[in-house]
Amino acid sequence: MAAISALVLAGCVAQPMTQPPGGALPPLPLPSGSPAPDTPTGPRASARAFIQVIDRMEPAVERECRERRQQPINCDFQFVVDDREGLEPNAFQTVDDSGRPIIGFTLSLIGAARNQDELAFVVGHEASHHILGHITRKSSAATMGAVILGGLASAYGGNSEAIESAQQMGAQFGARYYSKEWELEADYLGAIITMNAGYDPQHGAQFFARIPDPGDKILGTHPSREARIAQVSRAVADYRSGRAR
């Protein structure tokens, strides 16, 4: 396991692609329609596939970030792997104290991916949360929810304990209210970035078919599997027709 972890962590600092004069990276060709083949099973094969995907996705992600950002956000992405044993397959996006975006993966997610298209789409999706400002928007929504429910509890004579409880509930409600919409936004842009890197996002989105379907629950954090796959298909159709936003 130590040897495998070393292989995976080596991919966290992928070497950037050589940029031509002026700093602009040429667009990669649109996927030909041939999906990436399923990779052989095993830790070493999974680690190798992950490193190759990061090497291609990092410049595509950072280019998209620089071109789309409306605020002075940091576009120097860092990719990390949580190599603790027993963790569920998961990927996440956050920022460090300096505002640098971090995309993390558990080893189990890397091992669960059947091909490079799936890994690439996960990278594009998580990067899109940062590019679209979802962490900031989620924090603002949580604060608003806490203020509203806390204020209502106070107006109806609640004591400090009741007000604090209402604030916590309001923060949870606010953070969840737009979460499904944000996931679909990240699916759309993530598909665009995946195609820009030369991968097939529709093939990559088949990863959804192997995880529990969250359905379309009220205040659920993720949309249904059907909705997400349809969103990816919409992004691909828009991309091919020149309507991609």
Q: Tell me, what's the pLDDT at 6?
A: 31
Is the distance from CB of 99 to CB of 74 less than 8 angstroms?
A: yes
Q: Tell me, what's the pLDDT at 161?
A: 72
CA distance 33 to 25: 23
Q: Tell me, what's the pLDDT at 172?
A: 56
Cβ atoms within 10 Å, residue 151: 14
CA distance 157 to 23: 60
Q: Average pLDDT by consecutive 10-residue portion of the chain (245 residues)?
A: 32 30 38 60 86 96 92 92 89 89 93 93 94 69 49 65 63 54 91 96 89 51 82 94 82
Q: pTM, whole model, 2 decimals?
A: 0.69
Cβ atoms within 10 Å, residue 221: 12
Q: Tell me, what's the pLDDT at 208?
A: 81
CA distance 225 to 212: 9
